[in-house]
């Protein structure tokens, strides 16, 4: 009986798969004689290359089927497509009521490109870390080290970024991401300006902190690589939170530490310190049991008529845009209030980094208002490999550049 059930199940699975393939083929002009499935996602025939989307084989325009191949990166979910003309990634772009598959050509030389490991790759011109060009790297002498470090004849790199001014012969790890040489202390690839190397120490409570790190020396307290002005070193401590790492105190009171290293004093008589939390990691939105706040000009400001915080039905896109019960709101920092975006569809809404730009199903937004003149179809944020920055742009212009972390 069990064997019969297994046989019936196998027949059902085969029929289902056959139906799926048949359904896919019947909805696309495919040459049956030369058609072959490469894997569960890709196929090709003499005329082109196809990707499966909603059980339909969709042609990827411009790919050469003869030289087409898939580049898999061991230990990573990333995959690239390659033919004689280039290397590509597939991205989804919002296009009215549906998502459009877009084939994005990457700036790699297809003839010489090779994957070194999960993080590094190279071609005849450059070496890349997590798909980003390592600016200034000497390809002929470049060596990959451990723990995110690499070097060439001229520089040492951490996370694919050059560490300016570091002494190559005396560099050592304090505890990642902190390193030192004979003269200075660094947070990742950034020098901690003014840090006294002889009295420098780390102060965070546990290694799983996801919102930045604190350190101190005899003179100052530091957040990542930034000096915290006005904080008393002897009485400084981080207020314990399971995940949040934004709240500190000294003998003079409590403070919110902003992303740029500025500090905003908190009036503990007006704010419920015990229940104060960030709405999301590294955001400029905060809440206690009854109210929501943001920091402006280094002061904590209560948001007028803010929606009640509900961890199950309120989420953030960035510091400016939030979603409450599938409605998108924009924070007008001049008025200190959230404004509803009437035309935005929240389930397909996207904010770009920490900027004022966003995109919904129908419109591009800037500061919560429809951006007149923006080309909706091509509007996006993309990485510029040559400049090492992200660009918010459409086919006509660049609206804003954003530094890469």
Taking the CB of residue 166, how many other CB atoms lie within 10 A of it?
22
Domain boundaries, the chain: 2-106
Order of strands across the sheet with 161-162? 143-144, 149-151, 156-158, 161-162
Q: Are 295 and 330 in contact (CB under 8 A)?
A: no
Distance CA 83, CA 63 (A): 7
pLDDT in tens, 295-347: 999 999 999 988 878 767 788 999 999 998 888 999 999 999 999 987 777 77
Distance CA 288, CA 285 (A): 11
Q: Give residues with Cβ within 8 angstroms of 362, minimum separation 6.
A: 96, 343, 345, 376
pLDDT in tens, 20-79: 344 344 346 889 999 999 998 899 999 999 998 878 898 998 999 999 999 988 777 778
pTM here is: 0.80
Distance CA 228, CA 249 (A): 12
């Amino acid at each position: 009986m069990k064997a019969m059930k297994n046989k019936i199940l196998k027949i059902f699975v085969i029929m289902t798969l056959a139906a799926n393939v048949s359904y896919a083929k019947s909805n696309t002009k495919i040459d049956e004689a030369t058609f072959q499935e490469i894997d569960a996602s890709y196929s090709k025939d003499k005329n082109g290359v196809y990707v499966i989307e909603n059980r339909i084989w969709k042609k990827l325009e411009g790919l050469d089927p003869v030289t087409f191949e898939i580049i898999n990166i061991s230990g990573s979910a990333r995959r690239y497509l390659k033919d004689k003309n280039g290397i590509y990634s597939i991205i989804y772009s919002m296009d009215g009521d549906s998502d459009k598959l877009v084939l994005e050509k990457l700036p790699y030389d297809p003839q010489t490109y090779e994957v070194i490991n999960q993080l590094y790759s190279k071609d005849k011109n450059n070496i890349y870390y997590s798909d980003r060009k390592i600016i200034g790297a000497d390809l002929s002498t470049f060596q990959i080290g451990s723990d995110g470090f690499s070097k060439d004849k001229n520089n040492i790199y951490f996370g694919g970024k050059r560490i300016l001014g570091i002494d190559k012969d005396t560099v050592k790890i304090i505890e990642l991401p902190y390193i030192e040489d004979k003269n200075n202390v660094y947070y990742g690839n950034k020098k901690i300006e003014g840090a006294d190397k002889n009295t420098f120490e780390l102060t965070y409570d546990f290694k799983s902190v996801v919102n930045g790190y604190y350190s101190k020396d005899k003179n100052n307290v530091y957040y990542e690589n930034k000096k915290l002005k006005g904080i008393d070193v002897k009485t400084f401590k981080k207020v314990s939170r399971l995940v949040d790492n934004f709240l500190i105190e000294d003998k003079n009171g409590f403070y919110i530490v902003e992303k740029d290293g500025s500090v905003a004093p908190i009036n503990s008589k007006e704010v419920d310190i015990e229940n104060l939390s960030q709405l999301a990691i590294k955001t400029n939105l905060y809440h206690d049991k009854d109210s929501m706040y943001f920091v402006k000009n280094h002061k904590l400001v209560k948001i007028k008529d803010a929606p009640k915080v509900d961890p199950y039905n309120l989420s953030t896109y960035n510091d400016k845009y939030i979603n409450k019960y599938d409605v998108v709101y924009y924070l007008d920092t001049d008025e200190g209030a959230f404004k509803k975006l009437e035309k935005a569809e929240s389930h397909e809404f996207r904010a770009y980094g920490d900027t004022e730009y966003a995109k919904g199903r129908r419109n591009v937004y800037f500061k919560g208002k429809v951006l007149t003149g923006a080309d909706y179809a091509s509007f996006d944020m993309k990485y510029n490999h040559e400049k090492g920055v992200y660009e918010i742009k459409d086919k006509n212009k660049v609206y804003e550049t954003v530094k890469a972390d």
